Amino acid sequence: MKSPKNYIEQHKQRFIDELISLLKIPSVSADPHYKKEVLLTAEEVKNRLQEAGCDTVEVCETPGYPIVYGEKIIDKNLPTVLVYGHYDVQPPDPIDLWNSPPFEPVIQKTELHPEGAIFARGACDDKGQMYMHVKAMEFMTKNEALPCNVKFMIEGEEEVGSESLEWFLSRNQEKLSNDVILISDTGMISKDAPSITTGLRGLSYVEVEVTGPNRDLHSGLYGGAVANPINILTQMIAQLTNENNHITIPGFYDQVEDLSQDERAKMAEAPFNLENYQKAIGIKNVHGEATYTTNERNSIRPTLDVNGIWGGYTGEGAKTVIPSKAYAKISMRLVPNQDWKEITQLFKNHFESLAPDSVKVEVKPHHGGQAYVTPIDGIEYQAADKAFQETFGKSAIPQRSGGSIPIVSMFEKNLGSKTILMGFGLDTDAIHSPNEHFGIWNYLKGIETIPYFYQHFTDLFQNNK
Ligand code: BES
Ligand code: MN
Ligand code: MN
């Protein structure tokens, strides 16, 4: 295959400008306020797929936000790569902590991105990484370098749990049939350590509500004699982990597989510097489950975290009150074999059992998903590894990530497909945080690497027939 380098060099300013214009549309799926913008982004993505050389493009309705579909089928006997990505983004809050407005992208140099990085919500997660695939497609179609069939499926509800995706998958099995799914929605270890994400954690997300008295009470008149739901809620949460930061929900670890010493030793070989890790996020020391390393804690071990907690008076000044209600949002990251629905039920039973009878407790399950592991002996892994060798001059490091993309296990269940996760973001790119950014070097390197995946995958596929 002709190297994509020249083409990228000639068109890189346009590639950057196009991404910037996509980043200007605030496609926040969590907030109904942005409905118009989310829908507009879907239209934009559809047009870009068409310009990049897809023969069929459509915005497919679902019960929620639409899924953008595009395809180019060149020969039924050749393999088909299905690219998945998402055009929705996380809410930008807290806005005050951004150095520039989240939907007015700017390019700024940083220590890790001396070539400049684009700062905007969605720059890395996932508009920037998704758009690398659109531009790689453009390169391949404009240079007679497309070796196989391609399908794109770009959704708009990933950041809120991909609720419509199973609906869509079950109705479009034929249309979405493929030989491999390719996703760039994860990270890489560093700019000189390309990596393939071989594992994702599952998720169970719940909201809890603790109700005490039937109305807010004067904290002098009633204080001491009536359960304060905030006090009770925090006591209940505190009981969910023990002194070893082990989760105390009965049965929680029953299905968790212990990795062999061998596998743990292999994991520990991946480059990692604890001091830099701590420095980058401004902490003096790490914290987590006893007897596991930081990299194990954030990838192969399940967790429980409070994501938000509220109740009572939080306005200016003081108000003396015992609130009627207290709430928390809690997420549990899960590992292979833990069933998210089962874990949600275990949480519910346990949490309810912790409540004294002076309060009422309600546990409301939100969304969830299963964990995923990619085998490293399949042709999809080999093809990705060869692609990285072409553009980085070295093999990729397999790495299990702590994040979740619940649809990956759904793809396997519904379509029987394996997924390959080729991420180009850095952990320090601040996804979901203020000042999210994506390095221009990473963006262009992604565009350069992706066509090699297609080439090697097609070759390996044909040889394996
Ligand atoms: N792209 C992320 C997931 C991710 C990031 C995985 C980096 C591995 C490395 C995705 O957009 C995301 O944020 N997923 C959510 C789950 C979803 C159900 C809301 C997450 O992990 O919190
Ligand atoms: Mn993402
Ligand atoms: Mn995300």
pLDDT in tens, 183-207: 999 999 999 999 999 999 999 999 9
Q: What does the pLDDT average to over 231-254? A: 98
**Is the CB of 194 inside a 6 Å radius of any atom of ligand 1?**
no
Find residue 363's DSSP bridge partners: 208
Residue 343: predicted pLDDT: 98
pLDDT at 431 over 90: yes
Residue 257 DSSP class: P
Residue 106: predicted pLDDT: 98
**Contact in structure between 99 and 105 (CB atoms under 8 Å):** no
The closest of 431, 443, 420, 435 to 158, measured between CA atoms, is 431
Closest ligand 1 atom to Cα of 197: 8
Pairing of strands 56-60, 437-439: unpaired
Q: What does the pLDDT average to over 85-104? A: 97
Give the C-alpha distances (Å, rounded to integers) separating 173 from 166, 410, 416: 11, 12, 10
User: Whose CA is closest to atom 6 on ligand 1?
Assistant: 403
**Is the CB of 403 inside a 6 Å radius of any atom of ligand 1?**
yes
Distance of alpha carbon 38 from the chain centroid: 18
Residue 191: predicted pLDDT: 97
**Contact in structure between 450 and 132 (CB atoms under 8 Å):** yes
CA atoms within 13 A on the CB side of 390: 23
Q: DSSP 3-state assignment of 26?
A: coil
* Mean residue pLDDT across the chain: 97
**Is the CB of 159 inside a 6 Å radius of any atom of ligand 1?**
yes
User: Whose CA is closest to atom 15 on ligand 1?
Assistant: 404
Q: In testing the pocket of ligand 1, which one of 90, 158, 374 has its CB within 8 Å of the most ligand atoms?
A: 158
Cα 77 to ligand 2 centre (Å): 32
Residue 233: predicted pLDDT: 98
Residue 379: predicted pLDDT: 97
Whether omega before 94 lies within 30 degrees of 0, making that bond cis, reads yes
pLDDT at 352 over 90: yes
Q: In testing the pocket of ligand 1, which one of 29, 157, 159, 196 has its CB within 8 Å of the most ligand atoms?
A: 159
Cα 204 to ligand 1 centre (Å): 13
Cα 375 to ligand 1 centre (Å): 20
**Is the CB of 428 inside a 6 Å radius of any atom of ligand 1?**
no
**Is the CB of 203 inside a 6 Å radius of any atom of ligand 1?**
yes
> Is the four-CA dihedral 256, 258, 263, 268 of positive or negative sign?
positive
CA atoms of 83 and 133, how far apart (whole Å): 8
Closest ligand 1 atom to Cα of 162: 18
Residue 141: predicted pLDDT: 98
CA atoms of 451 and 1, how far apart (whole Å): 9
Torsion of CA 60, 199, 339, 407, to 10 degrees: 0
**Is the CB of 85 inside a 6 Å radius of any atom of ligand 1?**
no
User: Whose CA is closest to atom 4 on ligand 1?
Assistant: 403
pLDDT at 465 over 90: no
**Is the CB of 88 inside a 6 Å radius of any atom of ligand 1?**
no
Q: Which ligand is nearest to the CA of 90?
A: 3
pLDDT tens digits for 363-384?
999 999 999 998 899 999 999 9
**Contact in structure between 156 and 41 (CB atoms under 8 Å):** yes
Cα 208 to ligand 3 centre (Å): 23
**Is the CB of 187 inside a 6 Å radius of any atom of ligand 1?**
yes
Closest ligand 1 atom to Cα of 161: 18
pTM as predicted: 0.94
Which residues lie below 8 Å from residue 113, measured CB to CB, with a gap of 6+?
437, 439, 440, 441, 442
**Is the CB of 70 inside a 6 Å radius of any atom of ligand 1?**
no
pLDDT tens digits for 271-305?
999 999 999 999 999 999 999 999 999 999 999 99
* 32 backbone φψ class: left, alpha, beta (φ>0; ψ -120 to 50): alpha
CA atoms of 439 and 191, how far apart (whole Å): 10
The closest of 334, 383, 345, 305 to 199, measured between CA atoms, is 334
CA atoms of 22 and 103, how far apart (whole Å): 10
Q: Greatest CA span in the chain, whole angstroms?
A: 80
Cα 75 to ligand 1 centre (Å): 34
User: Whose CA is closest to atom 19 on ligand 1?
Assistant: 159
Residue 1: predicted pLDDT: 83
**Contact in structure between 303 and 241 (CB atoms under 8 Å):** no
Banded pLDDT at 247 (limits 50, 70, 90): very high
Cα 58 to ligand 2 centre (Å): 22
Cα 137 to ligand 1 centre (Å): 24
Pairing of strands 195-200, 372-373: antiparallel
Cα 71 to ligand 2 centre (Å): 22
Tokens 């996703």 — which residue? 183
> Is the four-CA dihedral 237, 242, 244, 249 of positive or negative sign?
negative
